[in-house]
Structure 1
Amino acid sequence: MIRAGGVDGPLSEDTLGGYQAAHQRPPAFGGSDGFAYSVAASADEGPGADGRYGAYLLFVRWREGADRPAGHLETDYLAFGATAEAALRPLLSLTLREVKDHLERLIEARGERAPG
């Protein structure tokens, strides 16, 4: 998988790419299942049978106090492009709210909610 490292043009800090550029780290979210997640925009290392690269969001799940991942969730492909960078560009333009909404849909699909 190829992870997004930067963007071509300036993005506001409330976008995935803008946040990464401003803070030099991925954003993190608290999920409704009680776990913390960091997120990266990722793309396949090679093109699919149709010659396009697919890009998706990869959420790494962290347990409280843990120094290593405890699992992950990933979206289906959200964008495609002739190159990995072209496929990643629309994901880097997502607002952090849109990214969080993707996380919550994945948690809901797994049927996981925080106790209480």
Structure 2
Amino acid sequence: MMDDATLGGYLDRHERPPAFEGSDGRAYSVALYVDDAAGPDGRFGGALLFVRWTAAGDHPEGHLETDYLVYGATPGEAEVALRALSLWDVKAQLDAVIERHRAAPEW
């Protein structure tokens, strides 16, 4: 069993995704994303999807996602690598995508 200081360990122990307060003061939960099909190099990419919740916390109102953080020879291998991320690393990724989103021009 993984330590619950990792993403996978937390998911296993608590049977729900961890929640974080982002650097923007908003509440986010995190989900794993792994490609269904291999890329041109034959590997499957894995990323994190952060769901942003309303101030009341009663429903989602948007999301942010990382670039691919891990790759695996199979989808399962990519998922294992994502689940091994520490919660500190997950939080750092959240804050990085928030900053990237802030810096992006509005369309």
Flag whether TM exceeds 0.5 (same fold): yes
State the 4+ residue runs in structure 1 displaced beyond 4 angstroms.
Answer: none
2:77 matched residue in structure 1: 86
How many residues end up aligned between the 2 structures? Answer: 103
2:92 matched residue in structure 1: 101
Q: Helix, strand or coil: the match of 1:47?
A: coil
2:82 maps to a residue whose letter is L
1:69 to 37, 41, 60: 60
Give the distance between the partners of 1:94 and 1:50, measured in 2 at CA.
Answer: 23
Instruction: Kindly report the root-mean-square deviation, in angstroms, between the aligned alpha carbons of the 2 structures.
Output: 1.3
2:14 matched residue in structure 1: 23
For structure 1, the 5+ residue unaligned runs are: 1-9
- 1:24-49 residue CA offsets vs partner (Å, 9 max, x unmatched): 00000011112100001210111112
Structure with the higher fraction of residues in helix conformation: 2
Give the distance between the partners of 1:90 and 1:45, measured in 2 at CA.
Answer: 16
Q: Could you tell me how far 1:94 is from its partner in structure 2?
A: 0.9
Residue 56 of structure 1 pairs with residue 47 of structure 2: yes
1:6 matched residue in structure 2: none
